[in-house]
Chains A and B, each alone.
Chain A
Amino acid sequence: AQTVTQSQPEMSVQEAETVTLSCTYDTSESDYYLFWYKQPPSRQMILVIRQEAYKQQNATENRFSVNFQKAAKSFSLKISDSQLGDAAMYFCAYRRGGGATNKLIFGTGTLLAVQP
């Protein structure tokens, strides 16, 4: 069975600084997708970034980027120039590919605090 592990329950970063959130996963599949979701206090789940396993290039979305290490099964999220609005719970998630409709498997989350 696939699993997703986030080993950092809480992280803190100063405004304008850079922070990296860790995520590892376990799968025997070769076709899959990885995601980072942001959940602010409103509880809305917001997609931050997505990575297809077949792509070697790391995904980037403005201040958010990932370090995808397929062999190591690692998928970390880097937030540059942190802003107060980045404070939230961040979830790493895995979805099997293969063209089927597959569920998301989530990690336990990392609560990010941004200090002014």
Chain B
Amino acid sequence: DARVTQTPRHKVTEMGQEVTMRCQPILGHNTVFWYRQTMMQGLELLAYFRNRAPLDDSGMPKDRFSAEMPDATLATLKIQPSEPRDSAVYFCASYPGWGEQFFGPGTRLTVL
């Protein structure tokens, strides 16, 4: 049963600290999306990659956020330095190029 995995599932950190979230897409899927869910903004796209190349990161605050896909089995989202307003659930979604996007379980981030 192929699934998207995300680590960590929960993260509590202090303002100013670096946070790294990881996603393992489903093997064979060529596209990875990062979405953020907050009470105020709802679900919004941060960035996405196709064949490991960044296609759109316009939804991501460039000064503190960075997203990479070092290989086909790993996508990372990094926040440095983190701020309380970054508290949210971050979802990774894996897409085979047709049909639906498959969501991971999310990383719940709390920045104190």
* A positions within 8 Å CB-CB of B: 35, 42-47, 50, 91, 101, 103-104, 106-109
Nearest A-chain residue to B97, judged by Cβ: A101
Contact B55 A106 (CB under 8 A): no
Bound together, the chains give a CA A42 to CA B56 distance in angstroms of 28
On chain B, the residues within 8 Å of A107 by CB distance are 42
Contact B45 A103 (CB under 8 A): yes
Contact B50 A91 (CB under 8 A): no
Nearest chain B CB to A52 CB, angstrom units:
10
On chain B, the residues within 8 Å of A43 by CB distance are 37, 89, 105-106, 108
Bound together, the chains give a CA A104 to CA B50 distance in angstroms of 15
Neighbour of A47 across the interface among B35, B37, B100, CB < 8 A = B100
Contact A101 B42 (CB under 8 A): no
Contact A109 B42 (CB under 8 A): yes
Contact B48 A101 (CB under 8 A): yes
Nearest B-chain residue to A91, judged by Cβ: B43
Instruction: Indicate with 1 or 0, residue by residue over B47-83, a CB within 8 angstroms of chain A CB atoms.
Output: 0101000011000000000000000000000000000
* B positions within 8 Å CB-CB of A: 31, 33, 35, 37, 42-45, 48, 50, 55-56, 89, 91, 93, 95, 97, 99-101, 103, 105-106, 108
Report whether over half of chain B's contact residues are helix, strand or loop; otherwise say mixed.
Answer: strand
Report whether over half of chain A's contact residues are helix, strand or loop; otherwise say mixed.
Answer: loop
On chain B, the residues within 8 Å of A44 by CB distance are 103, 105-106
On chain A, the residues within 8 Å of B55 by CB distance are 101
Q: Can you offer 15 A-B residue contacts whose CB atoms are under 8 A? A: A42-B105, A43-B105, A44-B106, A45-B91, A45-B106, A50-B99, A101-B97, A103-B33, A103-B45, A104-B33, A104-B93, A104-B101, A106-B43, A108-B42, A109-B42
Neighbour of B56 across the interface among A47, A103, A104, CB < 8 A = A103
Contact B95 A45 (CB under 8 A): no
Nearest chain A CB to B34 CB, angstrom units:
10
Contact A101 B108 (CB under 8 A): no
